[in-house]
Structure 1
Amino acid sequence: MDRKEFLKRGFTTLGALSVASFFTYCKSETIDPVSTEILSSTGSTNGSSASNCSLTNSETEGPYPIKNPSSLVINDITGDRKGIPMVVNISIRNKNTGCGAIENAFVDIWHCDADGNYSEYGSYTSVHWLRGRQTTDKDGLASFKTIFPGWYSGRAVHIHVHVYNSSGKSLLVTQIAFPAAICDTVYTTATDFYKKGKADTTNERDNVFGDGYSNELGTISGSIKEGFTLTHTIVVNA
């Protein structure tokens, strides 16, 4: 029932209930405003035009790269991991054509779960969650369904990305950084999933992003209740 209809009917149907009881009832029906609040943060605009077209930073694959990415051609990489749902939209652009879209590029992504663990390594060698490959469409876009990543000590929150051309030649290995304010809100609100509190390393103090991450910061919008969307453009030489 919408709020206007509820208020219209309320006083005629409550009968013997007191006015105080009525307002107590209304309060109990209120959804937590924190969980439904729309959070947003604008990241890098690199790659948006020919005049704003710098190569995205090259970064390490890290200690947990995908072992066999061609076997993980999947859109939904969540697996059995629990967390706030997140859609990741990555656009691949070619610096050599004034940041024109690259069709049929392979885009691999991987990241840790809510507890900071990676599949394919350590205690999870036989599983492959939060890893996958997609091929870009005519607009250079590759999309994934996943969860908001957790964090592990010594690193800022991030997603790894490896881009290949249609022939399988490596074009760039990079990482996507996350805005601190949204991360802090997620980790201190959605504590059913994220149990470690705020990340212990900021982007500025991170050993990967510490030398500059302006071209690697994702744009994020959404809510803890409904989930988030991350959008990011990566510029390569192709």
Structure 2
Amino acid sequence: MERKLFLKNSLAALGLATIAPLMKACSKDDDVGTDTDTDTGSSGECSVTPTETAGPYPTKNPSSYERSNIVDGQEGVPLTVKITVKNTSNNCAALSGALVDIWHCTALGYYSEYVVNPGGGYSSVDYTGSHFLRGRQVTDSDGLVTFTSIFPGWYGGRAPHIHVHIYNAGGTSLLVTQIAFPTDVCDTVYTTASPYSEHGTQDTSNSEDGIFRDSLSSELATVTGSVSAGYTLTHTINVSA
């Protein structure tokens, strides 16, 4: 954990990362696991969801993007994101009034607000003036926030994912984590839908991913739907508030 935080802070200081340092920054260690990918959904235990790195592309000014629709003109398969936040300090009761920030890459692996090269033969693109696929919502009485987005793509060295940062109502950080996607759903989207099929299937499985390989049971979302109708992601994140 100390190594991961050191690397995250180092990347933040640089303000820009290419894929090579990204692959290292997102690793909890240097081992590579075996691809079992028995994806079954998030854990129901009342324990705090694992903390993960926010970098290297965190939202620079999240309070400016209080919105439920974060598509901002990006092309992709529709995705509804439903995140429920629970409080382990209150027997995992729903946590209302929490601030939930999410951000993820485009169908081809690019992030807004940075100069990014997602690998896979794609060139670096300067998106420093864009803010797509980033947003903030406040949890309701059921601890729920809902975002309208697109199914994220992937970039070299990482399994598909969504970043999440949760704060209390006063703005104090409670948890930074990430959400993983079921492999079978990703394979369907990446091989049959445009523009994902231009990039193909991800080069890193959940069990090989430096973030998810030791915490997949609590970070894997449930995803239902289809390419034609769109998908819905549901996931519960536990924090200590």
Determine the C-alpha separation between the residues in 2 that align with 1:104 and 1:141. Answer: 10
| Superposed CA offset, 1:163-207 (max 9, x none) | 000000000000000011110111001134441111000011111
- Which residue in the other structure is 2:28 paired with? none
| Paired amino acid for 1:69 | P
State the one-letter code of the partner of 1:149.
P
1:212 is aligned, of 209, 212, 215, to 215
Unaligned residue ranges in structure 1 (runs of 5+)? 1-40, 47-51
Amino acid at match of 2:42: S
TM-score (norm 1): 0.79
1:191-236 per-position Cα deviation (integer Å, ceiling 9, x unaligned): 3444111100001111111222110000000010010000000000
Deviations 1:106-149 (A, max 9, x none): 00000000010000000100010000000000000011000000
The TM-score with structure 2 as length reference comes to 0.78
Is 1:124 the counterpart of 2:127? The answer is: yes
What residue is the counterpart of 2:161 in the other structure? Answer: 158
Counterpart pick for 1:141 among 119, 141, 144: 144
SS of aligned partner of 1:222: strand
Q: Counterpart of 1:76 in structure 2: which amino acid?
A: N
Partner Cα distance (2:237, 2:198) in 1: 31
CA contact (8 A) 1:114 1:193 kept: yes
- Asked if 2 retains the 8 angstrom alpha-carbon contact of 1:83 and 1:194, the reply is no
What is the identity, as a one-letter code, of the residue corresponding to 2:215? Answer: G
Of 76, 79, 82, the residue aligned with 1:89 is 82
- Name the counterpart of 2:179: 176
Residues in 2 aligned to 1:67 and 1:191: alpha-carbon distance in whole angstroms: 29
Question: In structure 1, what residue type is equivalent to 2:77?
Answer: I
In the alignment, the residues of structure 2 paired with residue 64 and residue 44 of structure 1 have an alpha-carbon distance, to the nearest angstrom, of 25
Per-residue CA deviation, residues 13-48 of structure 1 (Å, 9 max, x unaligned), is: xxxxxxxxxxxxxxxxxxxxxxxxxxxx751142xx
Residue 163 of structure 2 is aligned to residue 190 of structure 1:
no
Cα distance in 1 between the residues matched to 2:190 and 2:150: 13
User: 1:107 corresponds to which residue?
Assistant: 100
Q: Once structures 1 and 2 are overlaid, which stretch shifts more, 204-213 or 120-129?
A: 204-213
Q: Is the 8 A contact 1:114 1:194 kept in 2?
A: no
Tell me which residue corresponds to 2:25: none
Aligned length: 193
Per the alignment, residue 237 of structure 2 pairs with: 234
Q: For residues 61 and 194 of structure 2, what CA distance do their matches in structure 1 show?
A: 33
State the alpha-carbon separation in 2 of the partners of residues 155 and 214 from structure 1.
17
Structure 2: how far apart are the matches of 1:167 and 1:60? 22
**Which consecutive unaligned segments of at least 5 residues does structure 2 have?**
1-38, 116-125
Contact 1:42 1:220 in 2 (8 A): no
Question: Could you tell me which residue of structure 1 aligns to residue 41 of structure 2?
Answer: 43
SS at match of 1:215: helix
Classify the secondary structure of the residue corresponding to 1:214: helix
Structure number with greater Rg is: 1
Aligned mates of 1:212, 1:235 — CA distance in 2: 14
Q: Which secondary structure does the structure 2 equivalent of 1:182 belong to?
A: helix
Contact persistence 2:107–2:195 (CA under 8 A): no
